[in-house]
Amino acid sequence: MFETFMFAANAILPIVLLIALGYGLKHIRFIDIHFVNILNKYVFRVGLPALLFYNVYNIESFAEIKFGVIIYSVLMMLILFGIGMLVIPWTTKKPDQKGVILQVIVRSNFALIGIPLAQTLGGFEAIAVVALLSAFTIPLANVLSVVALNMYQTNELGEKISIKKMVLNILTNPLILGVFSGLLALFIRRLLTPQGGVPVFTMKEDMRFLYDAIRLISQTASPMALIALGGQFELSVVKPLLKQIFIGVSWRIVIVPFISLGLAYYLEKHIPGMEYAYAGLIALFGTPVAVSSAIMVHEMGGDEKLAGQLVIWSSVFSIFTLFVMIVFFRSVGAF
């Protein structure tokens, strides 16, 4: 039991310490909110796309794809999103808050917290699963988030955001571009690989300087995002948003993982590859709200204060819920 406790603590505490560092730096005025906003923009537009490209590009081949796990994850995201569409309008009245809460159902911090967490839990094999999942679920999560915000929210003129604008938001999303750039590079590498042979050209071997540059940039995404998250922490705006924060956080770190991980465990024998995928599924369904969600809400005119608080408080309380998940799945031999 002590070993399981330490395993879970070692997976979560580095994340907590980086968030605490951001809060401490902001508290002593070493950084300010302007710097935090710049950090968020860098992570969203540079660091995170590089991380996603790097992880997808390092998939050895399309043959590694565990389609059973991917199909399960995609269907579960769609089902949970549908449930949220039915329930959330009954629990949240303000139009600019409905979409913000709805998107958290599918918008986990998969890339920034989930990837390092999965690596700690399952090593290289878990990273491979996460990279494959990210190629399918991150674009889906971003599409569903744009749909959620578009359903209820308006632009600066008070008009509903057009379908054309929604499609443009999806196609130009840096996270989606990062994933699909990695898939394109992976596809080209396969085309340049003779049957049963080695690739004629790879970025890793023939353009090592570019490959290493992307790798180094990708390594900045997680720590910078977590420091920025700590720097955003403010207690003053919590009280008027307490009910909405409770609803959103409950969906993200309690309801979603309970349904998705519980059903995965129940169906394990019927889904090929599921027994090796729990670290990836915890990263996808159990992590807190994505930092980038608050940036998207700001750009689409939603309640950005609520979006930021959902990121912060889901991150704080996920320390406990992730610990419970890790202890349970560790105790049943999942990793």
Domain ranges of the chain: 2-331
What per-residue string of b and e applies to 194-215 under the rule 16 or more CB within 10 Å gives b? eeeeebeebbeeeeeeebeebe
Compute φ and ψ for 99, nearest 5 degrees: -65, -35
What element of type H or E holds 96? helix 95-103
Q: Highest mean pLDDT: which of 14-28, 184-198, 265-279?
A: 14-28
d(CA 178, CA 184): 10
Within 8 A by CB and 6+ apart from 141, the residues are 77, 106, 107, 108, 110, 290
Q: What is the pTM of this model?
A: 0.78
Note the pLDDT of residue 153: 60
Has domain 2-331 been given CATH number 3.40.50.460? no
Using one digit for the tens of pLDDT, what is the confidence trace for 108-122?
887 667 777 777 777
Q: Is the pLDDT of residue 130 over 90?
A: no
